[in-house]
Structure 1
Amino acid sequence: MTILDKIVAFKKKEVAKIKAEVPVKKLVESPNFKKAQFSLKEGLITKFSTGIIAEFKRQSPSKGIINNDVSVLEVTKGYLDAGVAAQSILTDTSFFGGSMTDLMEARTINQQTPILRKDFVVDGFQIVEAKAIGADAILLIATCLSKKEIKDYGQLASDLGLEVLYEVHTQEDLDKISDLDGKIIGINNRNLKTFEVDLEHSIDLANQIPDSAVKVSESGISDPRIITGLKEYGFQGFLIGENFMKTDNPGLACHEFISQIR
């Protein structure tokens, strides 16, 4: 059983438990459910956008604890001051040390930039939940979903006014997504089955994605020069977490990184 298999199996049990305790009606009545959404897509393609989706991540299965000393509020403020295009917040608790509270806290001061809920979506309930906690976009990981699930979850998100970052790692993953036109497609350079990172994945799959889609490169980006290279292959978004979070001041690290790509 791979790390991803373990995460997905655990996540299904976890979501089933939450569904039994929290009625959808309660989620729909949340104040955040009525707020206007910020567009992740627009945030990435607008003129002068940095393209940086800066992530708040305390830990990971491959690295263990990355940073347990900074608060989501101080990191969010730092990222916003740095001029990020969007913010990503991991809400998985068991494997990444995050929580839905992290996203809700970030939303209290982030009133200008889209927030991506980063989690392993295995049930439509989580998409309704994402809107209720204040997210603007969700992540759908093709590796752990069927073609039908990807389509159905994508439609549900759209119906709720949420955008979707469709994450792929292989051509097989990409083939699961029907009609790439206009979608936000993230190529994860990290193999979720082994957690090994290879930046060539972004380049290898880039040509299989139409220019009408917004291309995002995820994981393993640690040098501003990598951004320059990826832009030549049509990438407009760059999801970076560990590179900032491993420092004492993630916001400052993000600011210094962005200053070198402008």
Structure 2
Amino acid sequence: MKDILHDIITNKRIEVEQQKQAIPLQSLLAMGSERLDRTPHSMRAALAASPSGIIAEFKRKSPSKGWLHPDAKVSDIVTEYEKNGASACSILTDSKFFGGSLSDLQQARRHVNLPLLRKDFIIDPYQLYQARVMGADAILLIAAALSVEECRQLAETAHSLQLEVLLEIHTENELEHVNDCIDMLGVNNRNLGSFHTDIENSFRLASGMLAKAKTESSSLLLVSESGISDPATIIRLREAGFQGFLIGETFMKTEQPGETLAQFIGGLS
């Protein structure tokens, strides 16, 4: 079976090295000095306070589904997401596999006051500085792509930059990646190797995630990611202990993602 995650990470290592050579860290920090003064929003607090908990995602394509919305303008869609009740926005910044860019993140920051998650395959501290300079409030770390020690080091660096951390797991044994710098613990219902999606994965892992949250930190907030296509699923997930719900394709495959979000939230009441 083709391992898509392996292909993505292999490409990401090459991509990040090229970016570091093109714009060394000190140059990156100098370019973004004003933006580094901005106090980030708390995504964790926004999700905890929200009646919906929806992290609405901007992505143009996926490795499994191909192009969803190839001509999508991030400024238009995130503005509609904010207007129609999103608690936060997730911005895909991977170019080759998801059709995104750091420019999308920068544009989103200019247009909304919502917390922004940089969603990418983060393997190097340089990407955390990029995220902060481009306007992110939180970053995603994927347990399947990192060792336990790499995860800790990246999470600590993120916190030093005032970025919150969403750690994504897919299996119970990846709970060992949780550390005291993790703010939100997510379960991906999509297997990043095969891209097969099963929403029941959240329910299978919920009790273990809740137990880990109690052990590590009472403030750890649970997020369910991928495969959520109807409001009834969110109601069930809330009962299982989740407070955040990352939804992308359900919105982005439609002509008007913001309107689809509004209708979705309407179904929660």
TM over 0.5: yes
Q: Which residue of 1 aligns with 2:228?
A: 221
Q: Which residue of 2 aligns with 1:104?
A: 106
The gaps in structure 2 that reach 5 residues or longer are none
Q: Which residue of 1 aligns with 2:171?
A: 170
Q: Which residue of 1 aligns with 2:21?
A: 20
Question: Which runs of at least 4 in structure 1 moved beyond 6 Å after TM superposition?
Answer: none
SS at match of 1:102: helix
Q: Which residue of 2 aligns with 1:241?
A: 248
- Find the aligned partners of 2:95 and 2:111 in 1 and give their Cα distance: 22
1:146 and 2:153 correspond: no
Which runs of structure 2 are paired with 1:110-189 in the superposition (5 Å)?
A: 110=112, 112-179=113-180, 183-189=183-189
For residue 70 of structure 1, report the CA deviation from its aligned partner: 2.5
Q: Which residue of 2 aligns with 1:38?
A: 41
- Find the aligned partners of 1:71 and 1:179 in 2 and give their Cα distance: 37
Q: Relative to structure 2, which stretch is displaced further, 4-13 or 63-72?
A: 63-72
- Find the aligned partners of 2:70 and 2:80 in 1 and give their Cα distance: 16
Q: Which residue of 1 aligns with 2:94?
A: 92
Residues 110-145 of structure 1 show CA distances to partners (whole Å, capped at 9, x for unaligned) of 1x2100000000111000110010100000000010
- Find the aligned partners of 1:208 and 1:123 in 2 and give their Cα distance: 28
- Find the aligned partners of 2:71 and 2:127 in 1 and give their Cα distance: 28
Name the structure with the higher helix share: 2
CA contact (8 A) 1:107 1:134 kept: yes
For residue 179 of structure 1, report the CA deviation from its aligned partner: 4.7
Q: Which residue of 2 aligns with 1:255?
A: 262
For residue 260 of structure 1, report the CA deviation from its aligned partner: 1.4
The one-letter code matched in structure 2 to 1:34 is D
Q: Which residue of 2 aligns with 1:199?
A: 199
SS at match of 2:90: strand
- Find the aligned partners of 1:183 and 1:165 in 2 and give their Cα distance: 6
What percentage of residue pairs aligned between the two structures are identical? Answer: 45
SS at match of 2:224: strand
- Find the aligned partners of 1:107 and 1:49 in 2 and give their Cα distance: 23
* TM-score under structure 2 length normalisation: 0.93
For residue 27 of structure 1, report the CA deviation from its aligned partner: 2.2
- Find the aligned partners of 2:189 and 2:121 in 1 and give their Cα distance: 17
The one-letter code matched in structure 1 to 2:249 is E
For residue 83 of structure 1, report the CA deviation from its aligned partner: 1.2
- Find the aligned partners of 1:69 and 1:5 in 2 and give their Cα distance: 28
SS at match of 1:55: strand
* TM-score under structure 1 length normalisation: 0.96
The one-letter code matched in structure 2 to 1:4 is L
For residue 172 of structure 1, report the CA deviation from its aligned partner: 1.8
The one-letter code matched in structure 1 to 2:119 is K
How many residues in Structure 1 have an aligned counterpart in Structure 2? 259
- Find the aligned partners of 2:268 and 2:159 in 1 and give their Cα distance: 32
Q: 1:69 aligns with which of 56, 68, 71?
A: 71
CA contact (8 A) 1:85 1:113 kept: yes
- Find the aligned partners of 1:121 and 1:255 in 2 and give their Cα distance: 31
The one-letter code matched in structure 2 to 1:138 is I
- Find the aligned partners of 2:140 and 2:253 in 1 and give their Cα distance: 23
The gaps in structure 1 that reach 5 residues or longer are none
The one-letter code matched in structure 1 to 2:16 is V
Residues 220-243 of structure 1 show CA distances to partners (whole Å, capped at 9, x for unaligned) of 000000000000111000000000
SS at match of 1:69: coil
For residue 28 of structure 1, report the CA deviation from its aligned partner: 1.9
- Find the aligned partners of 1:233 and 1:77 in 2 and give their Cα distance: 31
